[in-house]
């Protein structure tokens, strides 16, 4: 789901070259809002103490770094805001003096809009040492909606000491400038803000905030212990500070999701961020056989009819991954009830770990539809070619039907505007009679689907084979509308 507030991702830039003339900095910028929804840019710049040039002033060595920022309207290309400030580091005039890192967190009020943002960091004592970055920034905190800040990954958080550089809301929020979590990191910490909840919640209502970690690389992991739920009173700015224990999380790609819900559980808005985990010690403990160790207290536990469960598993074939399709084809017929229950639960848990039952029920409604529309007394609709295409790719944008005539078989041409980045996709179905309702897929221009260049010939009665293999279309005859139906969906 696209974020309500589209912000810049935290940008980590750490230049660690071996040349002394290289300016080394960390630049971190993002957008927050105040209680009245006035946006402000929070810019953090940290300079490695040994990297800038130092000059002697009044008996001390001083480094001076200039930060410039410009905001250009994305549409008019006019510069609408410019600001700059200096960072200083002064040390004793001694070759052995320790040159500590220095920096500042700078906050600047900005307006709602879409910007191109330009940053320049310059070593004043040696202007050739400078860095420049350009990026896009969209700022929007609507008055009639709930919005959120970017999720900020943290190395740690604790009550702040006086004059703490990273203090915010009374806490020391130590940023984590990358999304990689090696085995020696056992906690996942984050901070974010939620805005404008009083606009959609009554004073006596609670704001439900649900956060969870889920796998994004099709691992069937039972991560129910990585779900947190909190209740808050509506406030102009809700500060969320949370921690997950990921000590037992195996290697893989994951996503943190945060959903803001009303008291009934309906999601009002949500935001997500991805991260990577490397934890080789745990990987051997998680194999395909023991990821789902129990279906107790799940919706699958109630599916005790073996025949009915096998039919459910047959119905998910159109949306299954290749390895899952192989299991359905080769093993589901002989598998026990318990094995099929684990497979079925794992199938939906991979796709919707936060609510696998709802994902299945939504899909089951589509199966019910195709069974009614495309099925017959002889075959279930989800086992037909049209049922498979409908379930796999969704409903077509248009359907052209060729009527039953003395010279042609009944046929349909389904048209999709786009499927998996492919444009103007068509499927040609036909049947040898007008009784069974079982249309077979004859041709498609979709990659990976059946292709028959002479599909028009096959739709001609008595012309199911070609004497001339160069011929792909029938001779012109009265009533032939195949080209028209193909080209005018």
| 181 domain residue, yes or no | yes
Nearest-angstrom CA–CA distance, 138 and 169: 25
Cα–Cα distance for residue pair 105/121, rounded to 1 Å: 14
CA dist 153 and 150 (Å) reads 9
Joined together, the tokens standing for residue 124 give 């004043």
| Average pLDDT along the chain | 85
Q: Does position 478 have pLDDT exceeding 70, yes or no?
A: no
Question: Residue 138's pLDDT band (boundaries 50, 70, 90)?
Answer: very high
- Does any domain span residue 11? no
266 and 163 within one domain: yes
Residue 124 domain-assigned (yes or no):
yes
Buried/exposed code over 57-72 (b: 16+ C-beta within 10 A; e: otherwise): eeeebbbbbebebbbb
Run of H or E residues at 361: helix 356-374
pLDDT score at 488:
75
Residue 307, domain member (yes or no): yes
Least confident of 60-69, 114-123, 459-468: 459-468
* 136 and 165 assigned to the same domain: no
Task: Pick the more confident residue, 288 or 113.
Answer: 113
Which helix (H) or strand (E) segment holds residue 193: the answer is strand 187-195
Are 198 and 122 members of one domain? no
CATH at 209? 2.60.40.2550
Asked if 207 and 239 sit in the same domain, the reply is yes
**Domain limits at 126?**
25-141
Residues 65, 107 within the same domain = yes
Q: Is residue 149 part of a domain?
A: no
Whether the model pTM is above 0.85: no
The answer on 124 and 37 residing in a single domain is yes
CA 286 from centroid of its chain's CA atoms = 24
- 146 pLDDT above the threshold of 50: yes
How many CB atoms are located within 10 Å of the residue 216 CB?
Answer: 14
Structure tokens, 223: 């991560």
Same-domain pairing of 123 and 159: no
Structure letter (DSSP) for residue 379: B
Does 247 lie in the same domain as 346?
Answer: no
d(CA 469, CA 63): 80
Is there a single domain that holds both residue 127 and residue 174? no
Decide if 147 is inside a domain: no
pLDDT of residue 175: 92
Tally of domains within the chain: 4
> Confidence class of residue 160 from pLDDT cuts 50, 70 and 90?
very high
Q: Is residue 479 part of a domain?
A: yes
> Rounded distance, CA 97 to CA 91, Å?
7
Domain boundary among 250, 283, 316: 283
Span 176-219, pLDDT tens digits: 988 899 989 999 999 999 999 999 999 899 999 999 998 886 55
pLDDT tens string 317-327 = 999 888 788 88
Residue 404 pLDDT level (bands cut at 50, 70, 90): low
Instruction: Tell me phi and psi for residue 317, to 5 degrees.
Output: -55, -40
pLDDT, mean of residues 477-481: 57
Residue 307 shares a structural domain with residue 205 = no
Q: Is residue 294 one of the residues assigned to a domain?
A: no
- pLDDT tens, position by position, 283-297: 654 444 434 556 778
Residue 47 shares a structural domain with residue 165? no
Do the Cβ atoms of 146 and 153 come closer than 8 Å?
A: no
Q: What is the pLDDT of residue 306?
A: 92
Contacts of residue 205, Cβ cutoff 8 Å, sequence gap at least 6:
234, 262, 263
User: What integer pLDDT is reported at residue 334 of this predicted model?
Assistant: 81
Cα 472 off chain centre by: 44
Mean pLDDT of 33-56: 94
Mean pLDDT to the nearest integer, 341-348: 88
Domain boundary among 116, 141, 166: 141
Contact (CB, 8 A) for 404 and 439: no
> Residue 479: which pLDDT band, with cuts at 50, 70 and 90?
very low
Asked which of 380, 408, 443 is the last residue of a domain, the reply is 380
Give CA–CA dist 115/74, Å, rounded: 5
Residue (of 198, 208, 269) closest to 235 by Cα position? 198
CATH number at residue 117: 2.60.40.10
Same domain, 92 and 48: yes
Terminal C-alpha separation, the chain? 31
Q: Which residue has the tokens 């004592």?
A: 125
């Amino acid at each position: 789901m696209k974020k309500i507030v589209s912000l810049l991702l935290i940008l980590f830039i750490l230049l660690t070259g071996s040349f002394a003339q290289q300016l080394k900095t960390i630049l971190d910028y993002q957008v927050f809002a105040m209680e009245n929804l006035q946006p402000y840019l929070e810019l953090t710049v940290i300079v490695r103490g040994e990297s800038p040039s130092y000059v002697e002033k009044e008996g001390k060595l001083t480094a001076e770094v200039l930060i410039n920022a410009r905001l250009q309207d994305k549409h008019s290309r006019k510069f609408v805001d410019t600001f700059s400030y200096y960072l200083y580091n002064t040390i004793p005039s001694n070759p052995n003096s320790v040159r500590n890192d220095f920096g500042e967190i700078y906050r600047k009020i900005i307006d709602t809009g879409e910007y191109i943002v330009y940053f320049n960091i310059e070593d004043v004592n040696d202007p050739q040492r400078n860095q420049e970055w350009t990026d896009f920034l969209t700022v929007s905190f609507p008055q009639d909606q709930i919005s959120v800040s970017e999720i900020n990954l943290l190395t740690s958080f604790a009550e702040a000491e006086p004059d703490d550089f990273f203090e915010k809301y009374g806490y020391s929020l130590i940023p984590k400038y990358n999304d990689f979590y090696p085995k020696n990191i056992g906690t996942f910490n984050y901070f974010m803000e939620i805005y404008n909840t009083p606009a959609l919640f009554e004073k006596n209502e609670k704001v439900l905030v649900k956060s969870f970690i889920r796998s994004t690389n099709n691992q069937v992991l039972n991560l129910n212990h990585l779900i947190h739920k909190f209740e808050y009173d509506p406030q102009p700015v809700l500060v969320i500070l949370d921690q997950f224990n990921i000590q037992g999380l195996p290697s893989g790609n994951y996503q943190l999701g945060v959903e803001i819900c009303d008291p009934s559980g309906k999601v009002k808005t949500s935001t997500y961020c991805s991260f990577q985990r490397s934890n080789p010690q745990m990987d051997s403990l998680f194999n395909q056989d023991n990821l789902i160790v129990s279906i107790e207290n799940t919706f699958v536990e109630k599916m005790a009819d073996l025949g009915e469960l096998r039919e459910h598993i047959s119905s998910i074939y159109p949306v299954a991954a290749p390895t899952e399709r192989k299991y359905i084809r080769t093993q589901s017929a002989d598998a026990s009830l318990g094995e099929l229950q684990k497979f079925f639960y794992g199938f939906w848990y991979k796709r919707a770990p936060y609510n696998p039952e709802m994902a299945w029920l939504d899909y089951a409604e589509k199966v019910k539809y195709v069974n009614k529309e495309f099925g017959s007394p002889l075959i279930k609709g989800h086992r037909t070619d049209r049922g498979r295409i409908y379930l796999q790719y969704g409903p077509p944008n248009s359907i052209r039907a060729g009527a039953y005539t003395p010279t042609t078989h009944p046929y349909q041409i389904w048209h999709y505007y786009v499927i998996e980045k492919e444009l103007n996709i068509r499927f040609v179905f036909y049947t040898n009679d007008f009784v069974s309702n079982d249309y077979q897929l004859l041709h498609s221009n979709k990659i990976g689907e059946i292709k028959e260049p002479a599909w028009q010939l096959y739709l001609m009665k008595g012309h199911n084979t070609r004497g001339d293999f160069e011929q792909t279309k029938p001779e012109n005859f009265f009533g032939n509308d195949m080209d028209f139906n193909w080209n005018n969906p």
